[in-house]
């Protein structure tokens, strides 16, 4: 995983309440457009407070290539001044790749990682099955029907309702 970290310009210590959802709404289009300029996709944007410090974490992905340190640095440099205008508190910016065995955090990732190897854990076994964990490849994703999945174990294509997916993560042999 590649990562660049940037500490925002020093801001006045404000005792105001920070609405993280409001800030995310403001900065997300900027981050998406900036990443797009470098042919990248921000698969996760998180703004949260940990140990009395604010962190903005951006995880980037590309369908065409692996994410490099240069990619992270380019996005960081392009965003710095604009983010400082939109975020009223001191924060740490972390821009990185998602990692080789990333756990999915949104349904959108099933679309983004179509054709990739994943490990799926189900809430309940599928009809006629006893296992709840499968390794295979994402064939397709539909927000209403769920996941079309190619299971490696028996070379079978499965339709898995999204309500039955407990977790999913990328996996490497």
**DSSP strand pairing (146-151 vs 156-160):** antiparallel
Q: How confident is the model at residue 2 (pLDDT cuts 50, 70, 90)?
A: low
- Residue 87: predicted pLDDT: 93
Residues of the chain with CATH 3.30.300.70: 3-96
- CATH H-level superfamily of 108-170: Ribosome maturation factor RimP, C-terminal domain (2.30.30.180)
**How many Å apart are CA 109 and CA 92, to the nearest integer?**
25
72 burial level (CB within 10 Å; 0-12, 13-18, 19+) = buried
What's the length of the chain?
Answer: 173
pLDDT at position 30 over 70: yes
Q: Take residue 17 and report the two structure tokens written for it.
A: 């309440």
**How many Å apart are CA 62 and CA 43, to the nearest integer?**
10
- Helices (runs of H) and strands (runs of E) counted in the chain: 3, 9
pLDDT at position 11 over 60: no
Find all residues with CB under 8 Å of 136, minimum gap 6, and list them.
Answer: 117, 118, 120, 149, 150, 151, 152, 153, 158
- Residue 117: predicted pLDDT: 92
- To the nearest whole number, what is the mean pLDDT of the chain? 88
pLDDT in tens, 107-146: 999 999 999 999 999 999 988 888 899 999 999 999 998 9
Residues of the chain with CATH 2.30.30.180: 108-170
- Residue 10: predicted pLDDT: 47
Residue with tokens 């990248």, as numbered in its chain: 40
What CATH code would you report for 3-96? 3.30.300.70
Q: How confident is the model at residue 14 (pLDDT cuts 50, 70, 90)?
A: very low
pLDDT average, residue stretch 93-108: 89
Which stretch of 10-14, 48-52, 56-60, 129-133 has the lowest confidence by average pLDDT? 10-14
């Amino acid at each position: 995983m590649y990562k660049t970290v940037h500490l925002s310009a020093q801001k006045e210590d404000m005792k105001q309440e920070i609405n993280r959802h409001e800030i995310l709404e403001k900065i997300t289009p900027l981050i998406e457009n900036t990443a797009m300029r470098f042919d990248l996709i921000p698969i996760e944007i998180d703004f949260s407070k940990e140990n009395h410090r604010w962190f903005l974490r951006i995880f980037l992905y590309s369908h065409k290539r692996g994410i490099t340190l240069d990619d992270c640095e380019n996005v960081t440099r392009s965003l710095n001044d604009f983010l400082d205008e939109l975020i009223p508190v001191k924060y740490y910016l972390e821009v990185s790749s998602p990692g080789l065995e990333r756990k999915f955090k949104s349904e959108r990732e099933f679309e983004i990682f179509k054709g990739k190897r994943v490990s799926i854990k189900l809430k309940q076994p599928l009809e006629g099955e006893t296992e709840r964990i499968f390794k295979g490849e994402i064939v397709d994703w539909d927000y209403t029907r769920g996941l079309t999945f190619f299971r490696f174990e028996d070379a079978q294509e499965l339709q898995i309702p999204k309500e039955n997916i407990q977790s999913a993560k990328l996996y490497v042999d």
